[in-house]
Chains A and B, each alone.
Chain A
């Protein structure tokens, strides 16, 4: 009997379905929050190691409780609302950021069949939710009634809209190869798709440049360095976060890292074969798919932290040039190239007309 089926038997159709989904949502949201705490710690440790520092090492063994100490400090601080702020929008903005960062996990397949909502437009759902993420930032920037916050909000809006365009084209080429918008189908289409043994679109020479571009676009979408201009501390103090304190700041922070973790999960799903092992050998399937998935996520997170530690911040006009003049034409050309190749090789022949 399925998990939802058991709840329906126990509590009746309506409440049972509700309870089953509620527990499943919590079963995703809590690990994501713990993952965020670990990710913040890992980020600081990796960053410190690359700069030959020690990083957090005081609170708990190896400083592993540092994030929890920081969170406790933020919980206990006073929430300050600026006098000139538009209070409703000011308080709504961090909630939107945080909620959208969690909601997007609903369609992520962690293993074969291990997904909360197996939507057949899963990829579009992710694109829609991530394109709404800009509202948390733009609303906070406007509602704070502060110059720095406003500039940060405007920068962020322009940046995220610019990079979404090329991100959309990259997703189009992936979904044409997979012939599906469902994330589980996209993962399964990568099983032995290159030379019969390699699992993953990234091994496909046609999609390899797309994978690299998607990684860079993901950095820009999550406002990670070298694209962290919305919160550039050197010129904007902290951009849109400047007027926030206490829990409202914590929500922004958690949402940002939850988004980063999601991108670290989405890149493996689209390009590295998701929960599949990298090679299509029977012995590798003895390791549970969930472990492969987490391993790939950790690898991607390490690369995110690596980039943050090594690459200097982009200048704003260079950021726009990269988005509009390099990535947009390149990804558009690649969509034509990929679709032409697929048409030429008869990839679409199986589709019902």
Chain B
């Protein structure tokens, strides 16, 4: 059963990964990418990492990919020009991917788990009486607290940078101030007067 599920998820993952780069329409590519994320979450569940699986779906499928889709749907792409460009750059692309493949093979064949990487503890699983989620939390906020907060700060810096780059102060626009609207009273805005015949009122 578990083997069947593994091959199902892994097969779908590879297929959708292939479809991401071969699909003609970029929106279809993003949809295939979402299927790939989803199957990766399935593989996490098979590994017993249900918390990571849910986070993968929430963060990548639920938020990041929505924004991808948002941007890609708005793009106005000339597919012909894109394909011509792809053919021109094919040799260079093949060379780069060949180098990367060779590096991956070299590392994968020669690598032994060793100094600096704490593998044995991580593989032991959560101590008794503790769920997966609690265990991740207790490790992340004690032992890896520095790394964790540093990654948070890096993300914050990226966010501030993006806002600074895109923010512009526009002049001459009317902005709604909801607090000011709510603070209005009839006494300050409403006047009741009597208009005599043919005289009008003074404002």
Shortest C-beta distance, B203 to chain A (Å), equals 29
Shortest C-beta distance, B51 to chain A (Å), equals 6
Which residues from chain B contact A121 at a C-beta distance below 8 Å? 50-51, 54, 133
CB pair B66–A120 under 8 Å, yes or no, is no
- Report the separation of the CA atoms of residues A138 and B63 in the bound assembly, to the nearest whole angstrom: 13
Q: Select one of A142, A154, A161 contacting B63, CB under 8 A.
A: A161
Q: Does residue A139 face the partner (Cβ distance < 8 Å to B)?
A: yes
- Report the separation of the CA atoms of residues A209 and B34 in the bound assembly, to the nearest whole angstrom: 35
- Report the separation of the CA atoms of residues A150 and B73 in the bound assembly, to the nearest whole angstrom: 9
Shortest C-beta distance, B158 to chain A (Å), equals 17
Q: Which of B8-16, B98-106, B124-132, B190-198 participates in binding chain A?
A: B124-132
Q: Does residue A14 face the partner (Cβ distance < 8 Å to B)?
A: yes
Which residues from chain A contact B61 at a C-beta distance below 8 Å? 128, 131-132
Shortest C-beta distance, A320 to chain B (Å), equals 12
- The total number of A-B Cβ pairs within 8 Å is 77
Q: Which of B23-31, B84-92, B145-153 participates in binding chain A?
A: B23-31
Q: Does residue A134 face the partner (Cβ distance < 8 Å to B)?
A: yes
The residues in A between 109 and 160 inclusive whose CB is less than 8 angstroms from any CB of B are 119-121, 124-125, 127-128, 131-132, 134-135, 138-139, 142, 150, 154, 157-158, 160
| CB closest chain-B residue, reference A131 | B62
| CB closest chain-A residue, reference B61 | A132
Which residues from chain B contact A139 at a C-beta distance below 8 Å? 31
Q: Does residue A1 face the partner (Cβ distance < 8 Å to B)?
A: no
Known: A89-B28, A124-B51, A142-B27. A353 touches B58 (CB 8 A): no
Q: Select one of B25, B62, B69, B133 contacting A181, CB under 8 A.
A: B133
Which residues from chain B contact A135 at a C-beta distance below 8 Å? 34, 66
Shortest C-beta distance, A129 to chain B (Å), equals 8
CB pair B138–A353 under 8 Å, yes or no, is yes
Known: A124-B55, A352-B134, A353-B138. A138 touches B66 (CB 8 A): yes
Most buried by B among A14, A138, A164, A353: A138
Which residues from chain A contact B138 at a C-beta distance below 8 Å? 351-353
The count of residues in chain B whose C-beta lies closer than 8 Å to any C-beta of chain A is 30
Known: A139-B31, A142-B73. A164 touches B62 (CB 8 A): yes
Most buried by A among B1, B34, B70, B129: B70
Q: Does residue A245 face the partner (Cβ distance < 8 Å to B)?
A: no
Q: A168-211 interface mask toward B, CB cutoff 8 Å, 1 = contact, 0 = none?
A: 10000000000001000000000000000000000000000000
| CB closest chain-A residue, reference B56 | A128
- Report the separation of the CA atoms of residues A164 and B31 in the bound assembly, to the nearest whole angstrom: 21
Known: A121-B133, A154-B70, A157-B70. A131 touches B54 (CB 8 A): no
Shortest C-beta distance, A111 to chain B (Å), equals 24
CB pair B66–A128 under 8 Å, yes or no, is no
CB pair B51–A138 under 8 Å, yes or no, is no
Which residues from chain A contact B50 at a C-beta distance below 8 Å? 119-121
The residues in A between 6 and 65 inclusive whose CB is less than 8 angstroms from any CB of B are 14
CB pair A157–B69 under 8 Å, yes or no, is yes
Q: Does residue B33 face the partner (Cβ distance < 8 Å to A)?
A: no
The residues in A between 307 and 323 inclusive whose CB is less than 8 angstroms from any CB of B are 317-318, 321
Known: A157-B66, A181-B133, A352-B127. A132 touches B57 (CB 8 A): yes
| CB closest chain-B residue, reference A128 | B57
Q: Does residue B140 face the partner (Cβ distance < 8 Å to A)?
A: no
- Report the separation of the CA atoms of residues A86 and B27 in the bound assembly, to the nearest whole angstrom: 10
| CB closest chain-A residue, reference B25 | A86
CB pair B134–A351 under 8 Å, yes or no, is yes
| CB closest chain-A residue, reference B130 | A352
CB pair A128–B129 under 8 Å, yes or no, is no
Q: Does residue B5 face the partner (Cβ distance < 8 Å to A)?
A: no
Q: Does residue B157 face the partner (Cβ distance < 8 Å to A)?
A: no
| CB closest chain-B residue, reference A17 | B1
CB pair B66–A352 under 8 Å, yes or no, is no
Which residues from chain B contact A157 at a C-beta distance below 8 Å? 66, 69-70
Q: Select one of B28, B54, B134 contacting A125, CB under 8 A.
A: B54
CB pair A131–B130 under 8 Å, yes or no, is no
CB pair B54–A124 under 8 Å, yes or no, is yes
CB pair A131–B57 under 8 Å, yes or no, is yes
Which residues from chain A contact B63 at a C-beta distance below 8 Å? 131, 161, 164
Known: A14-B1, A131-B63. A124 touches B73 (CB 8 A): no
- Report the separation of the CA atoms of residues A352 and B27 in the bound assembly, to the nearest whole angstrom: 47
**What 4 additional pairs, Cβ within 8 angstroms, besides A121-B54, A131-B58, A318-B176?**
A121-B133, A127-B58, A142-B27, A321-B178
Binding site for B on A (CB under 8 A): 14, 86, 89, 119-121, 124-125, 127-128, 131-132, 134-135, 138-139, 142, 150, 154, 157-158, 160-161, 164, 168, 181, 317-318, 321, 351-353
